[in-house]
Structure 1
């Protein structure tokens, strides 16, 4: 039971940090048969989008 709780907590923190965003993006891109950006390019694009429209994103950073 403790192991399940820790696994859930790890998943939750990863969701909050956005660690799973790339995996979801890559899966959608592969399903649509589009080219998949490397992780670094994806993260750069993601941060650029957040900087262009900060009101769209919640939080301070």
Structure 2
């Protein structure tokens, strides 16, 4: 049986992981896949690599994004 301290530590680590993923926008692909499957079930969902490429291209083409440092 796990102790209350172990459960609390696991919740804390899970919360930190969620926060960092949201902060770094790492969860964007997961949200995109959920949206695509719910609203466009017939459409093919791109791979994560293709999604990131499309996202980067879109950001670089948008003049409101400004220039990138790296």
**Equivalences, count:** 59
* Counterparts in 2 of 1:51 and 1:8: CA distance versus 1, 3 Å: same
Query: Aligned partners of 1:14 and 1:53: how far apart in 2?
Result: 24
CA deviation after TM superposition for structure 1 residue 41, in Å: 0.5
Query: Aligned partners of 1:8 and 1:55: how far apart in 2?
Result: 32
What residue ranges of structure 1 are gaps of 5+ in the alignment? none
What is the aligned-residue RMSD (CA, Å)? Answer: 2.1
What TM-score results when the alignment is normalised by the length of structure 1?
0.77
1:49 maps to 2:68: no
Q: 1:36 aligns with which of 19, 26, 45?
A: 45
What TM-score results when the alignment is normalised by the length of structure 2?
0.68
Q: Any residues of structure 2 matched to 1:1-61 within 5 Å, and which? A: 1-31=8-38, 32-33=40-41, 34-56=43-65
Query: Aligned partners of 1:11 and 1:40: how far apart in 2?
Result: 21
Query: Aligned partners of 1:54 and 1:11: how far apart in 2?
Result: 30
CA deviation after TM superposition for structure 1 residue 21, in Å: 0.7
| SS of residue matched to 2:45 | coil
